Amino acid sequence: DVKVTQSSRYLVKRTGEKVFLECVQDMDHENMFWYRQDPGLGLRLIYFSYDVKMKEKGDIPEGYSVSREKKERFSLILESASTNQTSMYLCASSLEWLGLAGSVTDTQYFGPGTRLTVL
Amino acid sequence: AQKITQTQPGMFVQEKEAVTLDCTYDTSDQSYGLFWYKQPSSGEMIFLIYQGSYDEQNATEGRYSLNFQKARKSANLVISASQLGDSAMYFCAMRESTNAGKSTFGDGTTLTVKP
């Protein structure tokens, strides 16, 4: 079974703090993703990574950065947390992107989520 | 335009009955994948079922089946013999070839199973 873990289930930070959200997967997946989920807005992609040291912006990258130094670990960084970054953050991984969608290898497996509150 | 549309914000079903959750999608790609996920109140997104655009047969996984109608661009999830544990939010998602592998998610449908 694929296992995706996130460093914290709940996190409370203060405005202006630097925040690290860690995600680790144990299935040697090539692709990793960070989403945020807000009521009424669904899931929105922040960043994703096809491979080590590679990253691509998603739909809402502003205010965030990422790091992928090892294949199994993908970190989301809030350089200076703001109250509008209070949200549920979900990490996901998938086996590989074959360059052609329509393969079951595209299936994303999610971690349990981190509920971040910025005061 | 919304790429994934789930028109039912909330649904109720009696335990042991079947229920259909609607999903329509919009893409001009020939090659794409469609996914359904379940999110219980605990927050974790659980993968349920996958359908590839070239798959001729509807996907099935246990009590879950996907009613794929390509011409109508619909990918409805059917849950047979509903159980109380099926109460959750359900998301439809699509991954397209031309969108650099990014997935698009619908807004979700909250399913409540009544005893």
Q: How confident is the model at residue B103 (pLDDT cuts 50, 70, 90)?
A: confident
Q: What pLDDT, on a 0 to 100 scale, did the predictor assign at position B95?
A: 86
Confirm or reject contact between A83 and chain B (CB < 8 A).
no
Maximum separation of any 2 CA atoms in chain A, in Å = 43
* pLDDT higher than threshold 70 for residue A74: yes
Q: Which residues in chain A have their CB less than 8 angstroms from residue B91's CB? A: 42-43
Distances (CA, A) of A14 to A77, A83, A87, B5: 14, 8, 14, 36
pLDDT, tens digit (0-9, with 9 covering 90-100), for B84-94: 999 999 999 99
Spatial separation of the C-alpha atoms in residues B59 and B70, rounded to whole Å: 13
Percent of chain A predicted with pLDDT > 70: 90
Q: Do B44 and A102 touch (CB under 8 A)?
A: no
When pLDDT is averaged across residues A36-63 and rounded to a whole number, the result is: 90
Amino acid B111 reads L
Q: Do B35 and A101 touch (CB under 8 A)?
A: no
Q: Which residues in chain A have their CB less than 8 angstroms from residue B46's CB? A: 110
Give the contacts of A16 (CB within 8 A, at least 6 positions apart): A80, A81
Is B113 within 8 Å of B13 (Cβ atoms)? yes
When pLDDT is averaged across residues A14-26 and rounded to a whole number, the result is: 97
Spatial separation of the C-alpha atoms in residues A119 and B113, rounded to whole Å: 36
Is B54 within 8 Å of B77 (Cβ atoms)? no
Q: Do B52 and A112 touch (CB under 8 A)?
A: no
Size (chain A), residues: 119
Q: How confident is the model at residue B97 (pLDDT cuts 50, 70, 90)?
A: confident
Q: What pLDDT, on a 0 to 100 scale, did the predictor assign at position A96?
A: 67
Q: What pLDDT, on a 0 to 100 scale, did the predictor assign at position A116?
A: 97
Q: Considering chain B, what is the average pLDDT of its residues?
A: 92
When pLDDT is averaged across residues A68-76 and rounded to a whole number, the result is: 96
* pLDDT higher than threshold 70 for residue A53: yes
Q: Which of A49, A89, A85 is nearest to A68 (CA)?
A: A49
Interface of A with B in 17-36 (CB under 8 A): 31, 33
When pLDDT is averaged across residues A24-48 and rounded to a whole number, the result is: 91
Q: Do A88 and B45 touch (CB under 8 A)?
A: no
Confirm or reject contact between A113 and chain B (CB < 8 A).
yes
